[in-house]
Amino acid sequence: MSTNNKPKITGTESIKTSTSKKFEDIYSKPNNAPWTYSTAPKELEELINSGVIPKNSRILEVGCGEGYQSIYLAQQGNTVVGIDSSKNAIKYAKDNVKKIKKTLDLEFKLKTCKDLEKLNEKFDFIFDWRMLHEITDEQDRVDYFKCINNLLTDKGKYLSVAFSGDTEFMGSGTIRKSPVGIEIYFETLKSGLETLGNYFNVLENRHISVPQKPNLIISANYFLMEK
């Protein structure tokens, strides 16, 4: 008689494993994710054009997906590191770099938010674009903000764009479920300002609109901060 010695996965670990699989399914083929666009958001372009992100900056993107935004920033003369927890996303990001007929100072790494503390380097600009709302545990969010602060150079900038709790997109309350069953954290602009103000100097906070395929326009909180 055979026995199965494989350990059972339960509780929080089970939820995280399930969520990880769902993201791998979403990234099952290139450009399949509804939030993936090959062009950079105008807000990032504005930060480049205004000099808020100076050339030759060292940049970290948390939740880089298929790498389009990191590629754009590297094309502007910056040194960029992009991390994501999805193996498929990182594979596509590396494939997208190969399509660029120019040498870029750019690296993609398979890492989660909790791996950030292992990065032994500093960055002039760190951003997460539509990623922060995926961190739903309150303590994990606190740890994340502390880690971002620690990774920034003196006067380094941090940009975060995440779904806004000032709308009823996906329902109501702070924790909501996406159509594919992934838990999403919805924070109001006011609450976000109070929270982030504990860790950064908030330079700008406002609502912006972010697109989602096939034809959605979603309200998001935009926070530009400084260490």
pLDDT for the residue 81:
98
Confidence (pLDDT) at 101: 84
Domains of the chain: 18-226 (3.40.50.150)
Q: Could you tell me the pLDDT band of residue 17, with boundaries at 50, 70 and 90?
A: low
Separation between Cα atoms, residue 126 and residue 118, nearest integer Å:
16
Q: What pLDDT score was predicted for residue 11?
A: 45
Largest distance between two CA atoms of the chain: 70
Is the confidence at residue 99, as pLDDT, over 70? Answer: yes
- Please tell me the distance from the alpha carbon of residue 103 to that of residue 74, in angstroms, as a whole number: 9
Average pLDDT on 183-197 reads 98
Average confidence score pLDDT of the chain: 93
Tell me the per-residue pLDDT of 39-85, one tens digit each, with 9 for 90 and over. 999 999 999 999 999 999 999 999 999 999 999 999 999 999 999 99
**Residue 10's pLDDT is what?**
42
16, pLDDT greater than 80: no
| d(C-alpha 113, C-alpha 52), whole Å | 25
Q: Is the pLDDT of residue 8 over 90?
A: no
Long-range contacts of 47-53 (CB under 8 A, 24+ apart): 47/159, 47/224, 48/73, 48/76, 52/157, 52/224, 53/78, 53/124, 53/125, 53/157
Copy the structure tokens of residue 158. Answer: 């941090």
What the block records as the tokens of 173 is 């309350």
Whether pLDDT at 3 is above 90:
no
Residue 127: pLDDT above 70? yes
Work out the average pLDDT over 150-171: 98
Collect contacts of 146-150 with beta carbons under 8 A, ≥24 apart: 146/199, 147/113, 147/116, 147/117, 148/62, 148/116, 148/199, 149/199, 149/200, 149/227, 150/117
CA distance linking residue 65 with residue 216, whole number of Å:
19
